[in-house]
Structure 1
Amino acid sequence: MASYEDIPIIDTLIGFREAGGYEYDFITKQTKDRESRESFEFPAEYMFKGVPKELPTDDPVSVTLREMDKHGIEIGMVTVATESGRTAVQRFPDRFVPQGSAVDPNDIMGTLSTMTREYEEFGIRSVSSFAAGTFPQVALNAPQMYPIYAKCVELDIPIFACAGIAGPRLKSAVQHVELIDDVMFDFPDLVFVTRHGCEPWEELAVKLMLKWPNLYYSTSAFAPKHYPKAIVDYANSRGADKIMYAGYFPAGLTLDRIFTDMPHVPFNDDVWPKFLHLNARKVLKLKE
């Protein structure tokens, strides 16, 4: 069992339980099966056990901070698309890193304007993409994405993009890992970080990370016991500088669940500091 005591942790996907619970409506309205539309509070609920639904919502930032402190998370990256996210990065700039609103390639000019405004107002360190959740869907290598990638290069910020089979019951072809090859070829200066596992094409993701210097992988939405073997093996060999920690609190996983599993991940001793904070510091350009 590995020990990573005294290693500061940066969580590159953490958030807040917002009052109202409407943050997933944009996904639910695109699904067609009855269970997703009528039964699920969380669009990928069938995949997760123990989703922390009952968290208090009167002060979401304090709730998340308490969980971070409990598990040694020094810094969390949060979206400024929500009121809680904006409050967090303004009140606790030493604890929260601002990520821009999710990009919308169906509104290219609006997205570019939002990226510029959030960069100037909040100093966003990245943006995010959920291709399967766009409506209509837009593939990772589609022409509509290219101005957004160019803007990331201009602002010198990475994009964190969902890749692999989507958890919600939406079509997933737009997130096929092979599409990333086109993106990295056309944007060699773009820093691209995958989210949500890349399965079932995680071995292809490893091949592409070997090929492209600016391509990285984050472990979001996976309990550590389910980290793909190909990713763990890659981190323990040539990929120690390419794999970074991301959780999924409170969207799908508790931090208790994540950090109960975490010590059992068979990372080499030298991988842990890179995985838990050094790689994220590099990609997000955070000072020690």
Structure 2
Amino acid sequence: MSTPLGYPIIDTMIGFPAEGPGQYEFIRNQAKDEQTKAEYEFPVEYMFKNVPEGLSIEDPVAVTLAEMDRFGVERGLIGVGSTGADALRRYPDRFVAQVEIDANRGMDGIKDLVRCYEEYDVRAVGAFPCGMAPQVPINDKKMYPFYAKCVELDLPIFVNAGVPGPRLPFAPQHVGLIDEVMYDFPGLVFVARHGCEPWEELAVKLMLKWPGLHYCTSAFSPKYYPKAIVDYANTRGADKIVYAGYFPMGLSLERIMGELPKVGFRDHVWPKFLHENARRILKLG
């Protein structure tokens, strides 16, 4: 099925149904509030409505692929865990590999990054600074070997920026920290994930300043894309804004695709936003 806008889509954040809340244990281990630790199955339950539920886990790859086919998602960027490895093996033309890093692991983490790069044809690296234990700020020198390796391997890095949804301290993801990283690594392709709020206007200023800095729309329904980001895409930033969803973690593709046509992007922005920018960043040909 084609998308509501008629363009193919590359989704730079998509996942698979999973049984139980185990995938979020790393957040619960750090949280101190009782709702996150014991009540919520999804750590940001207080923020999201109509989180996809009741999805079959018998073949999670098939579930995600069916949703992609239903809504015209050509390819999806996924992690290289056990389910991701299965998806990459079965459908190499539909899924693209990303490796998640923990900067606390130092050179062991670098070795794992290189191993995954060689084994899975990894096209991107992911990092959640507030989710690492202990937390590692965006500009922390623990991150620098990973940024250097990304430049060496010519890989983009997708990094959560802005106040995190989980009830964890936000300081490691202040958008202003990106400035130092881009200064020290001018060849780095850095894609800010998860909104950059409440510093989205600062994110725009930094994207104007640094050629390698981009923004993706992960974890935001189109109805809530920040105005500063939409305005930037419509003026000077059409090449810098990248589509990302959040299925099945917090948003359904049905909701996203239903809201997308109402976003006020100008005509020239849509193909860049939905697939061209991701194709270039991920080097998909």
> How would you bin the TM-score normalised by the shorter chain?
over 0.9
Compute the displacement of 1:21 (Å): 3.4
Question: Which position in structure 1 is the counterpart of 2:87?
Answer: 88
1 CA distance for matches of 2:154 and 2:233? 25
Indicate the residue corresponding to 2:69 in structure 1.
Answer: 69
For 1:149, the aligned partner's letter is: Y
Q: Which residue of 2 aligns with 1:58?
A: 58
* Mapping 1:37-56, distance limit 5 Å: 37-56=37-56
Instruction: Give the aligned partner of residue 32 of structure 2.
Output: 32
Amino acid at match of 2:226: P
Name the SS for the 1:74 alignment partner. strand
| Residues 132-176 of structure 1, C-alpha deviations (whole Å, 9 max, x = no match) | 001111100001000010011111101000000000000000000
Question: Residue by residue, what CA displacement relative to the aligned partner does 1:221-260 show, whole Å, maximum 9, x if unpaired?
Answer: 0000000000000000000000010000001101111111
Query: After TM superposition, which residue ranges in structure 1, 4 or more long, deviate above 6 angstroms?
Result: none
Extract unaligned runs of 5+ from structure 1.
none
Aligned amino acid, residue 229 of structure 2:
I
Counterpart contact for 1:242–1:279, Cα < 8 Å = yes
Report the Cα distance in structure 2 between the residues aligned to 1:140 and 1:190, rounded to whole angstroms.
13
Q: How many residues align?
A: 283
Separation in 2 of the partners of 1:157 and 1:230? Answer: 27
| Residue 279 (structure 1) aligns with | 277
- Counterpart CA distance in 2 for 1:95 and 1:247 is 16
* Counterpart for residue 259 of structure 2: 261
Counterpart residue number, 1:98: 97
Q: Give SS of 1:10's match.
A: strand
TM (norm. structure 2) is: 0.98
Cα RMSD for the two superposed structures: 0.9
Residue 223 of structure 1: which of 217, 221, 243 is its match?
221
SS at match of 2:112: helix
Offset of 1:83 from its aligned partner?
1.2
Deviation at 1:4, TM superposition (A): 5.6
Pairing 1:170–2:159 present: no
Q: Percent identity?
A: 60
- Report if the CA contact (8 A) 1:13-1:248 is conserved: yes
Superimposed CA distance per residue, residues 180-207 of structure 1 (whole angstroms, 9 cap, x where no aligned partner):
0000000000100000000000000000
Per-residue CA shift, 1:57-76, capped at 9, x if unaligned? 01000000010011100000
Contact 1:89 1:96 in 2 (8 A): yes
